[in-house]
Chain A
């Protein structure tokens, strides 16, 4: 039981490049979330999903896209990387809304 697995752990992107941050959970959780965390700031919700095939925007969705084709996977796509997207990205999952989160270990992304 690995919990929530995020890859890669670190990445440096050039402005305008694209990439996908991977997130996989093996706990059969319905709910999955993507957050970004900037220094001195709280975690900001980017997108979330309440089940396979269903996604919705969070507080800061601009510049990102997601998909949820399976219960296990919830990838986050950056299409045209910008310096403002330099951040630490956390994926999380929970069995029900309001249930306790399990976080992945994070992806540190730098856009230069």
Chain B
């Protein structure tokens, strides 16, 4: 079983839609979690950290469920510029990246 798993997508949604991604991790000792965004042919960039209490940054909300070992990312009011691949990351001894979920926001 892969250490961090994500649905690869693609998720094709219209502008203004709400979309949610889930990610599961297998290492229960993982301490920190993040969502990174990666545009086509570019390096990953930090989108947001994920806290047990949940956190929100504008249109983006991240949640962590330690009991079920999954992380979620919710994007409200999708913009064309949100089109990218979203990488789930778990940190235990090292950072472990999921394969990413591709999102396409359509006009």
A-side residues, CB < 8 A to B, are 33, 35, 40-43, 45, 48, 58, 90, 97-98, 100-101, 103-106, 108
Contacts and interface: CB of A to CB of B under 8 A. Distances in A.
Chain B contact patch, size range: 20 to 34
A42 B99 contact: yes
B46 A101 contact: yes
A104 B44 CA distance: 9
Nearest to B93: A97
Given A42-B2, A106-B41, 5 more contacts: A43-B44, A43-B97, A58-B94, A90-B44, A105-B42
Contact of A103 (B2, B32, B44, B100): B44
A83 to B, nearest CB: 21
B57 interface: no
B91 A106 contact: no
A42 B31 contact: no
B32 A42 contact: no
